[in-house]
Structure 1
Amino acid sequence: MKKFSFKLYKPVAVIALAAGLLGLNACTKNFEEYNTDNTGLTEDALKPDFNYIGGFFPQIQSSIYFNFNNTNGDFQLQQNLMGDVYSGYLMPPNNFRGNINNMTYSLVDGWNASAFNLAYNNVMAPIYEVKRRGAAQTAPEFWAIALILKVEAMHRVTDIYGPIPYSSYGSGGTSSSYDKQQDVYTRFFKELDTAVTTLNTYVAAHPGVSLFAKFDMLYGGDYKQWIKFANSLRLRLAVRIAGVAKDKAKEEGEKALNPANGGVMEINKDNATVSGFGLKNPLYTIVTAWTDNAMNASMESILVGYKDPRLPKYFDHATAYPGTYKGIRIGSLVTAKPDYTGYSIPAVAENKTFKATTPLQLMTSAEIWFLRAEAALNGWANAGGTPGELYEKGIRTSFTQWDADPVAVNAYVADASSKPIDYVDPRNATNNHAAMSDITIKWDEAASPAQKLERIITQKWIAMYPEGQEAWTEFRRTGYPKLFPVVNNYSNGTINTDIQIRRIPFPNTEYTSNKAEVEKAIQLLGPGAQDNGGVRLWWDLPH
């Protein structure tokens, strides 16, 4: 049995958990033996102010977009060298492992296991403990928030790997079985049902009361905002499965959009961002101290091509090429530092968008407007407007979020001529590539359904920056925006260069500790599937 530690805040107590809870070991039979608070503080002593369950939430909230205890390296592996790169947002100016790494599709297990292990050890384990302590009965509003955070964290995990252990988590035994992704999504929707119903009932019965406020790193204890977050999360997941489960997607999407259920995010005050408890933004450290982040060539092509006023809010100018924005194409054979460190980096110096104190972004209202535009495109009820109206609302909300020129947005949404530009690498012409798309910005009601979707997703992709995991997922689902393929593909034929990477293989630790079940999980990926990065997930249809 492997022991895992997490922190209980206010007061601080370190508790050793038997995680079985998974990650590095699936065994749970000795859970109670290890689940002991060795500080001498009993649950009864902590109950009067709800510390006995609330104290676990800071770890849960700061481990989704991981920087718990400000361990920046974990974030780099969980998010930055995976979703941030595959989304077309960022690219490290660092030749990690001699360019035999994720950027060239030579997938590094020691990197890619992080998203799996961190989620189970730092989110699922403390949520299990909150459940074990009876939160569902004694503090149902706390449990409702735990369920929302659970879905937010674990949908990222299933959208990376596919089948995951979910329904069996914490059930004991020496192994943990995997659920197929469709079943995981079904449980997500049911858990959001419980959360929204519970919080709406609580708010009606206890207006203005929030015992969760001192543990809340997102909304300061505002349960109505948590309801909007849950509904918005439901809408995100509903739209995701629209291609493979049309009726279920419509049902869940319309439920999310029904104002009687508490509404969805609409203004930037509603954005789900994590801050407080000394949490620092890991992107800032990785850019400033480690010089391990730069603009991706796809970002350059689209944002420069569109003359996007948000560009200086997102990135600094390239110091090696003054007055320009310059990205690095994925799969480039990057030379040793400091050769490519003169390319554009996330905006830490000029507009200082990213600081150590910048909150970690989970979801924004701009994203929700674009989801509503797609819902309207699908003919769902309660979308709140036409696809074109909602599309433009998404752009305007994003401009407001980033404090971009409020006058410039009018010209931007009316721009029917600007297009993505060709990519030219001044260091190595081998990396050059023609623009991947000629899609413009202005909404065109006469456009084809595919062109309408490309506009929606391209602008949504711009607006969701820097949340690369979600952007990569939406690229896989829709094929938009059209991103540059890798220059060098070292996957030994398991990943198609043009189709691009579709998922991450299961961690090697699962093969050593949970072998029989992970082998069954591979079969859940589809007939004849193998555990590699070229296999499509359930919702990822060819397009």
Structure 2
Amino acid sequence: MNRMKKINKLIWVAGLIVLTFTGCTHNFEEINTNPDRPDKIDQPKLLLGGVIKNISYLALSRGTAAVLGDYYVDQYVSMFNDAFNNTQTKEFYYDGRDVQDMINLAEEQNQPHIQGMGLIIKSFMFQQMTDAFGDFPYTEALKGKTDEVFTPRYDTQEDIYADLQVQLEKANELLSQNSVEDIGSYDNLYGGDILKWRKFANSLRLRLLMRISGKTDVSPKVMEMLHQPDKYPLMVNNDDNALFSYSDDLQSSWSPLYTASQEKYDGTEFMSTTMEMHFKAMNDPRMKVYFSPTVKGVENGEFIYAAVPNCIRDADESAYNGGDSYNSRKGYIFVPQKIDVKYASPTVAQGILLTYAEVQFNLAEAREKGIISVGDAGTYYKNGIIASFDYWASRIPANFIEMKSMTNPPTEVFEAADVIPDPAYYEQEKVAYTGTQAEKLEKIGVQKWIALYLCGIEGWSEWRRTGFPKEISVIPPNGLPSSSNINEWPRRIPYPQNEQVYNVDQYQIAVGRQGADNLLTRVWWNK
């Protein structure tokens, strides 16, 4: 892979781009007419579909988020240099403003269900932002239009997390109210199913509580939720997953992976050695879904999966395993239409916001650590693994089976049943829920990390919190020199440079409180 090819690709920092929801400079007010929507909307439900779609793009793991999670390899990104200050501020500012407008309109018009949905979406956005940056404009954010606050102060991450829990509890309460609101066709997440929105709210709250469980006692709040399932329903199966589904009717509704460039799929991103090691150690059939066999292997009628480590130099990568054709790209279920118009699908990839599998892994960890006293940790853990396998089996395109009759299929041919592991999978040493507490927690952490594939920055955030997988490192194997500009894996994303120009006083206060504005300063819950 040559350097110019990589420099020319757009750097997407999934945690970074979400800063743009805050709307904190005068510039934003000067460009506050969004060409993609009317200037005046008086029905909050008209904003719902758009904001859901936009957060789905955050969730659908783009290149840099997947590198931060050490799922993909991209040597330009894993240099971990000043490119991480790039942002798409102007475009994403509209999204945060639309969410706030929707909340305000719903409250004014006494539409508690739409208001509750808005609070969940806003909480999801700010959870992503504070996890990426740490301290962040929150209380005074999104008030340029209503209160002329253009230089919002930065709230501490601790305070943001505390209020996000309040907002999610409020959302659950609003959604519990009896209300006649015609939402169904406007809701492209749950089709107007209010109970599923409540499950999303409470499952997101559980995520937040577990994320800060190393900093504060979350046991009373988690136990309260589990003891009152009618009041605080959680996701109970994959039907409850918070997933944005793309459609095949209009090009604007296609999955971004379907419309990706050939170059992006063929020559810029490969399976990481961390993923390869864990998949092969467990003989995990998800490997053939997440990644494709090597081009050279397919040409020779063999299905070989091989990976590349992050943070190696360009010259070393171009020769690793023999070169690009000897390394595994993203799974063929994600192949762009420009490569294979017949087997590419505009709908297979989904925007994964939060899943039942994640809920089960959170409960497994909570039970193992004694945060909760109900349920069985091993059962929660296995439920999470099964849910992950079932989800990915459900994403296999139906026409993949046609490739079995081909003499030279373009990839390893499999169908949904081939993704479900044999019962022996759960009995092997690296998977079975046995060993010391430390070993069990590592198993939970690794399986959760695998299940968080294509879930934005969540895999990276969980690695920062738990340390699993413990193999993630800027030091390449086999004595190869590192190309990374930092000596350990990133712990946060630096603030965008425009904050140093337009909100400099508040920026300096935040940096003085939190620590140096670089990739290695840890956010509050990671300290």
Task: Give the TM-score range, shorter chain.
Answer: 0.7 to 0.9
Q: Secondary structure of the residue that 1:361 maps to in structure 2?
A: strand
- Cα distance in 2 for partners of 1:518, 1:57 equals 32
Match of 2:457 among 460, 469, 488: 469
Distance 1:508 1:238 in 2: 31
Alignment match, 2:385: 395
Distance 1:39 1:534, change over 3 A: closer
Q: Deviations over 1:428-455 (max 9, x none)?
A: xxxxxxxxxxxx11111xx332211101
Taking the TM superposition and a 5 Å limit, the aligned residue runs for 1:474-489 are: 474-486=462-474, 487=476, 489=482
Question: Does the 8 Å contact 2:207/2:362 carry over to 1?
Answer: yes
Please tell me whether the aligned partners of residues 313 and 483 of structure 2 are also in contact (alpha carbons under 8 angstroms): no
Matches of 1:27 and 1:21 in 2, distance apart?
A: 14
Query: Is this contact kept in 1: 2:390–2:420, CA < 8 A?
Result: no
1:165 paired residue number: 137
Letter in 1 for 2:223: E
Q: Which residue of 1 aligns with 2:409?
A: none
Partner of 1:251: 220
* Residue pair 1:283, 1:354 contacting (<8 A) in 2 also: no
Whether contact under 8 Å (2:131, 2:461) holds in the other structure is: yes
Q: Deviations over 1:438-492 (max 9, x none)?
A: xx11111xx3322111010111111121224100000000100123422355565
With over 3 angstroms needed to count, the CA separation of the structure-2 counterparts of 1:282 and 1:371, relative to structure 1, is: same
Secondary structure in 1 matching 2:258: helix
Deviation at 1:216, TM superposition (A): 1.1
**Residue of structure 2 equivalent to 1:102:** 77
2:58 is the alignment partner of 1:83: no
Higher relative contact order (CA 8 A, sep 6+): 2
**Could you tell me which of 512, 521, 527 is aligned with 1:535?**
521
Shift in alpha-carbon separation, 1:337–1:242, aligned structure 2, 3 A:
same
Which residue is equivalent to 1:56? 47
Percent identical pairs in the alignment equals: 28
Alpha-carbon deviation of 1:54?
1.5
- Separation in 2 of the partners of 1:144 and 1:256? 18
Give, in angstroms, the shift of residue 380 of structure 1: 3.4
Q: Which amino acid aligns with 2:210?
A: V
Q: How does 1:99-498 map to 2 (within 5 A)?
A: 101-109=76-84, 111=86, 113-114=87-88, 121-135=93-107, 137-169=109-141, 170=143, 171-201=147-177, 205-206=178-179, 211-246=182-217, 249-257=218-226, 258-276=228-246, 278-286=252-260, 288=262, 290-291=264-265, 292-321=268-297, 322-334=302-314, 339-340=323-324, 342-348=326-332, 355-358=345-348, 359-381=350-372, 383=374, 385-403=375-393, 405=418, 408-416=421-429, 440-444=430-434, 447-486=435-474, 487=476, 489=482, 492=485, 495-497=486-488
Equivalents in 2 of 1:464, 1:476: separation in Å?
A: 14
Q: CA deviation at 1:179?
A: 0.5
Deviation at residue 382 of structure 1 after TM alignment: 6.6
Kept in 1, the 8 Å contact 2:73–2:271? The answer is yes
Q: Which residue type is aligned with residue 156 of structure 1?
A: Q
Structure 1, unmatched stretches of 5+, are: 1-18, 47-51, 68-74, 93-98, 417-439
Contact 2:189 2:244 in 1 (8 A): yes
Q: Is the 8 A contact 2:334 2:345 kept in 1?
A: no
The verdict on how the C-alpha distance between 1:370 and 1:250 changes in structure 2, with shifts beyond 3 A counting, is: same
Native 8 Å contact 1:228 1:264 kept in 2: yes
Amino acid paired to 1:524: R
The separation in 1 between residues aligned to 2:432 and 2:138, in whole angstroms, is 43
Aligned letter for 2:164? F
C-alpha separation in 1, matches of 2:175 and 2:496: 36
Deviation at 1:81, TM superposition (A): 3.5
Question: C-alpha offsets along residues 81-127 of structure 1, whole Å, 9 cap, x if unaligned?
Answer: 432102111123xxxxxx5x43111130453x34x6665x1431111
**Structure 1 residues 150 and 350: CA distance shift in structure 2, 3 A:** closer
CA distance in 1 between partners of 2:494 and 2:433 (Å): 39
Deviation, 1:351, is: 9.8
- Give RMSD over aligned pairs: 3.2
Counterpart residue identity of residue 330, structure 1: N
Structure 1 SS opposite 2:352: strand
Q: Could you tell me how far 1:330 is from its partner in structure 2?
A: 0.8
Distance 1:296 1:81 in 2: 12
Most deviating of 267-276 and 209-218: 209-218
Q: Using the TM superposition, give the Cα deviation of residue 360 of structure 1 relative to its aligned residue in structure 2, in angstroms.
A: 1.3
Q: Distance in 2 between matches of 1:124 and 1:485?
A: 34
Contact 2:32 2:94 in 1 (8 A): no
Distance in 2, Cα, partners of 1:26 & 1:409:
58
State the 1:535 CA deviation.
0.8
In structure 2, what residue type is equivalent to 1:371? N
Q: Distance in 1 between matches of 2:505 and 2:420?
A: 59
Change (3 A) 1:337 1:125: farther
Q: CA offset at residue 186 of structure 1?
A: 0.8
TM-score, structure 1 normalization:
0.76
Q: Deviations over 1:166-214 (max 9, x none)?
A: 101114234111101001101100100110001112xxx35xx552212
Q: CA 1:267–1:174 in structure 2 vs 1: closer, same or farther (change >3 Å)?
A: closer
Contact 1:20 1:172 survives alignment (8 Å) = no
Is residue 213–residue 220 contact of structure 1 (8 Å, CA) maintained in 2?
yes
Work out the CA distance in 2 between the residues paired with 1:276 and 1:323: 30
**Residues 289 and 332 in structure 2, CA contact (< 8 A), matched pair in contact too:** no
> Partner amino acid for 2:240?
D
Aligned partners of 1:295, 1:374: CA distance in 2, in Å?
27
Residue number in structure 2 paired with 1:520 = 509
TM superposition shift of 1:496: 2.9
Instruction: State the SS of the aligned residue for 1:360.
Output: strand
Count of aligned positions: 455
The TM-score normalised by the length of structure 2 is 0.78
- Rounded to whole Å, the distance in 2 between the matches of 1:272 and 1:407 is 22
